[in-house]
Amino acid sequence: MRALNLCLKRTFTSFNILFAVVGALFIALALTSQALTNAHGGQDIEGRTTGLILLYFLGSVTMVIAILGVYGAQKENRVALIVFLVCMVLGSLMMLKIGVPSVIARPKLKGLMEETFHRLLPLDEATKDVQTVVETLQTRFSCCGLFGYQDWRQQIPDSCFCGAEVEEDQCQLVDTKLVFRKTCFPVVLHYITMISDIMLGVVFTLAVLALLGMVLSSLMIHQLRVAPIRPTMVLTVPPAFIPQPPKYQQLYNPPEY
C-alpha cells in the first residue's frame, strides 16, 4: 500500500470541504432566489429560469467533484485523483473563458442596458409582464418610468404618483398631478452592476480554487507515483520468549531388590 504525506492529505481534504461548502452555497442561493420570486408572484423574467438552472448545475457539480477529491485522498486512489485533476483543469479554463470577456465587456454594460430598455418603450404598449415589473419598481423605489414619465405617454399609472408623505422636491407637476422625479433606470443599473460584480467575483474565486486544486492534486498524484511501497510488517517473537526444552533431563534409576 502506498503512503501520502499526512499534512498534504489533510490540506487537500480541507480544501475539498471548502469546495463542497461553495457548492452548497450555490444551491442555497438558487433555492432562495426561487422562493423570493415565487413569493412576489412568480413573474417570468427573461433569463431567470436559465440563471436558476445554472446555479443548481454549478452547485451539484462542485459538490460531486469535492466528494470525488475527498475519496481519492482518503483511499489514496490515483484514478480518482486524476479525474479530479482533469475536472480542475477544465473548470479553471471554463471560469477564465467566462471571466476574462466579462471583465472586458464590463465598461459597455450601461450602454447595452440603455439600448435594451429603449426597445421596451413606450411602456403603455409593452407586454403585461414588462408593465408589471416596471410598476413594481416604481412602487418600491419611488421612481417613474425607465427614463422619465414620458415613457408612459398619456397613460401614467398610479404607481408614478407621489403620496402625501413624499417630500415635494422628489416630485414634479405633470398635468395637475405630482409624479416622482426620479427615474427607474439608474436603480436597475445599480443593482445589475452590483450583481455583475458579484458574479465576476464568484467566477474568479472559482478559478483560483480550481488552480489550487490542480496544484494539490498534482502533488498527491506525484507522491503516489514515486512513493515507495510500504513493506508488510510481520511480527515475530524473539527466541528468548519461546519456551525451550531443557538441555538435559535427570535420569533416575530405580533401586534393584
Cα(50)–Cα(202) distance, integer angstroms: 17
Considering Cα of 174, then 176, then 177, then 182, what sign does the dihedral take?
positive
Tell me the CATH number of domain 114-186, given options 1.10.1450.10, 3.40.50.2000, 2.30.38.10, 1.10.1740.10: 1.10.1450.10
Considering Cα of 173, then 177, then 182, then 185, what sign does the dihedral take?
negative
Where along the chain do its domains lie? Answer: 6-108+199-226, 114-186
Which helix (H) or strand (E) segment is 172 a member of?
Answer: strand 171-174
pLDDT in tens, the chain (257 residues): 456 678 888 888 888 898 888 888 888 888 887 777 665 444 444 455 676 787 888 888 888 999 998 898 888 888 999 999 999 999 889 888 988 988 898 888 889 999 999 998 999 888 998 999 899 999 999 999 999 999 998 889 999 998 878 787 888 888 888 899 999 999 999 988 888 888 888 888 888 888 998 998 898 888 888 755 445 455 555 555 556 555 555 555 555 55
Considering Cα of 30, then 140, then 194, then 189, what sign does the dihedral take?
positive
Cα(73)–Cα(85) distance, integer angstroms: 12
| Half-sphere exposure (Cβ direction) of 146: Cα atoms closer than 13 Å | 21
User: How would you class 95 by CB atoms within 10 Å of its CB: exposed for 0-12, middle for 13-18, buried for 19 or more?
Assistant: buried
pTM of the model: 0.68
CA–chain centroid gap for 206, Å, is 7
Within 8 A by CB and 6+ apart from 110, the residues are 189, 193
